[in-house]
Amino acid sequence: MDRQLTAWALAAAQALLFIAAAPLLAGWLQRVKCHMQNRAAPAVWQPYRDLLKLTRKKLLLADNASWLFRAVPYVVFGATLLAAAVVPLIAVRLPTAAIADVIVLVGFFALARFFTALAGLDIGTAFGGMGASREMMVAALAEPAMLMAVFTLSMTAHTTNLSVATEYILNAGLVLRPSFLFALLALAMVAVAESSRVPVDNPATHLELTMLHEAMILEYGGRHLALIEWATQIKLMIYSVLIVDFFFPWGIATEFTAMALAGGIVAVAAKLMGLAVLLVVWETVMAKMRLFRVPQFLGFALMLGLLAMLTHVVLET
């Protein structure tokens, strides 16, 4: 019973840490990017400042915004928060992992996306409609690709429970699985698309031709925008942590001792920073692609996912 309590407490703590750390990752990403592009870099804490500022701002709503428009940020944030709560960040065997497995995780993202798109349509602007339409198209292609990658892993681990899967891979030690390689690539491409980074989308622009995600949330401001921005950062972090957990789980805590947990934190931080650097490199060398080349990009991801699954079935069993 006591152990149960500690587990739950740890789980809550991890979730809080997760959402607290998300802006930090974004900040770090921004900073590295600026360095790489020879620009003056903002502080790593900049995202926190932005969020705080936004929450303080007075709320301004478009005149025909409906109740849905005002509910959406909370739904989005709630869904993302849940997603964050079930991903093992520093330790496995945490009870919250049982709330939802990886398929439900995808479901949470879908929920968030669904309502964001509705919010985009609510005001009745052309941009909102455009954003919603394009976002749903991208999602429709990204989701099966992601699931194919995830299925490969969960078939290997005989589970869709994230924590259990991570632990399995951890215990299996270093196995050179071609399927994992393909799955990693697929998952990375999907992650790029889903967290609206270059080349699929460009978060740092408000140009009609390049916006996807931004177009939907154009009309938001104040605390609503804060919640959505935060949710976006959490989403990016979730994807990164997923990749880390699935493919380089080493260092994650398997028992609830202070030592192990500290080690877990350090390990995950290091891994995330490394991953961020890779992402920045990628974003710097790539250019934003035309909307209708995105399907080919994601189609390639889907193909990789299928390949991963096939190699798993054909070669590894």
Which residues ranging from 91 to 110 are in contact with another protein (CB under 8 A)?
98-101, 103-104, 106-108, 110
Q: Please give, one letter per residue, the 3-state secondary structure of 192-240.
A: HHHCCCCCCCCCCCCCCCCCCHHHHCCCCCHHHHHHHHHHHHHHHHHHH
Select from 30-38, 44-52, 60-68, 250-258 the region that touches another protein (CB under 8 A).
Answer: 60-68
Q: Are 193 and 216 in contact (CB under 8 A)?
A: no
Nearest distance from residue 10's CB to another protein, in Å?
Answer: 17
Span 228-287, contacts to another protein by CB under 8 A:
none
Of 16, 39, 205, 208, which one interacts with another protein (CB under 8 A)? Answer: 208
Q: Does 82 bind another protein (CB under 8 A)?
A: yes
CA distance 40 to 33: 10
Of 6, 37, 66, 257, which one interacts with another protein (CB under 8 A)? Answer: 66
* First-last CA distance in the chain: 40
CA distance 312 to 237: 28
**Mask: binding to another protein, 166-205, rule CB under 8 A, as x and -?**
----------------------------------------
Residues 6+ apart with CB under 8 A from 88: 14, 94, 97, 162, 163, 166, 245, 252
Q: Please say which residue, 119 or 272, places its beta carbon nearer to another protein.
A: 119
Q: Are 73 and 245 in contact (CB under 8 A)?
A: no
Q: Which two tokens stand for residue 209?
A: 């031709």
Span 218-237, contacts to another protein by CB under 8 A:
218-219, 222-223, 227
Nearest distance from residue 110's CB to another protein, in Å?
Answer: 6
Q: Are 242 and 150 in contact (CB under 8 A)?
A: no
Q: Please say which residue, 143 or 283, places its beta carbon nearer to another protein.
A: 143
Span 105-134, contacts to another protein by CB under 8 A:
106-108, 110-111, 113-114, 117-118, 120-130, 132-134
Of 12, 17, 48, 159, which one interacts with another protein (CB under 8 A)? Answer: 159
Q: Please say which residue, 19 or 275, places its beta carbon nearer to another protein.
A: 19
